[in-house]
Structures are given as C-alpha cells and as structure tokens.
Amino acid sequence: MLLLPIVVLLYEGYGYLLKALMSGLFIESVVVTLLGAFIAAALDLLLGAPVAYAISRRLIPRPIDSVVSGVLLSPLTIPHTIVGLSILILVSPISPIPIIRKLPLVDTIWGLVAAYFVVSAPIAVGAMKQVFDELDPTYEYAGLTLGLSQWGVFAHVVVPMTFRELVSSFLMTWGRAISEFGSIVILAYYIVNPPFFNYVYPVPILIWYSYEVYGLPMALGYASASLMISILILVLIEIISERKFTGFKP
C-alpha cells in the first residue's frame, strides 16, 4: 500500500525527471525549500531539545507540564491551513500585538521558516523526548554529584551522549518540514527576498501550481524529482541512525 503509489509515480514521471532536474525554476525551489526547512529544523533542535529534556526528566512542575505537552502536540491535530492563517493574522495590521505586526513573515523566507518551525515542532520534541527517556540517568547523577547543575548536566553530559540521535532527530524534522503544504500555501505561497529569491515557489507549491496551470506532465516531473530528494533524506537518516557514535574527541 505504501510502495505502490511511489513506484507508479516514479514510473510515470521518469520521462519528465531529467527536464525537471535541469529546470532553473525547480532548482531555485529546492534551494529555498531545503534552506527554510534546515533553519526551522535547527531552531526546533536548539529550542526543542531543552524542552524535551525537561519534560522527560519531569523538571516542569505539574500541571504546567501537561499544558506544555499539549501545546507542543497541538500542530499534530490542528489543520495546517489554520497554522498558516493564525501566523498570517499574527503579523497582519489587525494583530493585537503591535511589535509583531512589523515582522516580515508574509511571502518571505522567514515566514517559510516560521511555518516549518511550528508544524515540525511536535516531531522534533517527540523524537528527542523518546531519546532522553531511553537514556540511562546514571551518568547524569554522577554529573550532579560532581557539582554540575541540571542544565550543566544536559549540556555537558546528555548532549554528547545522544549526539547521533539528536542529529537523526534533526534530519527527521528537516524531512518533515520539506513536505509541508497547508500552512505555507497561506503564509509563504512564493518567496520574495531580493537579491537571493525573487518570487520562488517552495517545492510543494511549485508542484501544485504546475498541476493547476500546466497540467499533469509537468507536475509529474517535479513530483518525481522531489520524491527522489525525500528518499535520499530518509536514507541519510537511516545511515546516521545505524552508525555508532563514539563521542567527541579532544
């Protein structure tokens, strides 16, 4: 059931694949999509890892921990068009927060990052929390007895011990962000950040636009090329997950 649609898409889109890969429009689209997703995944990792650790080690008092967990998981249940619409209203002239109205999030790389960040946060935090849940706390106790604070233990003991898993979580979050459509179709339909990006469509939008305007053949080429990129990212995740990380060397 999972494999058949992928095989059929690659089979039907093979004849259009080379043309899509050589298209300047597609290359620009891939660059803006991968860059936006990379920044969002990095922010999810940077801000989400401490939160995931705090939830895992019950450092957040009850019942606040339940509220935090619920907020973090909310993008999984909220339609992503609502996510895009809510961010759009947040930075619009009708926003109740004046300072946020000036943020350049509409049709910019930063709006793309914001949408990717929100929809990918549950994946990032959930993956990292699972990593921390499975970590033996013995080394953390040792760090605490040596005078480190709880967050000192996190930075100097936990992060080095789980580095490989955190990289894998980052790649998983990156891959999830790349596939986003619902929120960016409202907030960042195209990206305008001169001189780097001038009306560049993110990949999912480009596929949808091509299908709507030019029909199935062009969309098949872009979809097949995008699918190959996604598969390469998944393979990279598996390779990193299976490698044994030996730790930092001085």
Domain assignment present for 248: no
Domain assignment present for 22: yes
CA distance 236 to 81: 30
pLDDT at residue 243, rounded to an integer: 60
pLDDT at residue 150, rounded to an integer: 84
Domain assignment present for 101: yes
Read off the pLDDT of residues 19-51 as tens digits, 9 standing for 90 and up: 888 888 899 999 999 999 999 999 999 999 999
The residue segments making up the domain with residue 98 are 3-242
Domain assignment present for 247: no
151 token code pair: 């967050």
pLDDT at residue 244, rounded to an integer: 47
What is the pTM for the complete model shown?
0.86
Domain count, the chain: 1
172 token code pair: 């998983």
Read off the pLDDT of residues 194-246 as tens digits, 9 standing for 90 and up: 888 889 999 999 999 999 988 888 888 889 888 888 888 888 777 876 664 44
Domain assignment present for 249: no
Domain assignment present for 87: yes
Per-residue pLDDT band at 136 (split at 50, 70, 90): confident
pLDDT at residue 245, rounded to an integer: 43
pLDDT at residue 71, rounded to an integer: 86
Domain assignment present for 151: yes
Domain assignment present for 112: yes
In this prediction, residues 61-86 reach a mean pLDDT of 86
User: What residues form DSSP beta bridges with 193?
Assistant: 197
- Helix H or strand E encompassing 200: strand 197-200
Which CATH number is 216's domain given?
A: 1.10.3720.10
Residue 11 in this model has a pLDDT that exceeds 50 = yes
The runs of H, that is alpha helices, within the chain are: 3-21, 24-56, 64-77, 80-90, 109-133, 138-145, 150-153, 159-161, 163-178, 184-187, 203-214, 216-242
In this prediction, residues 2-30 reach a mean pLDDT of 84
In this prediction, residues 133-140 reach a mean pLDDT of 87
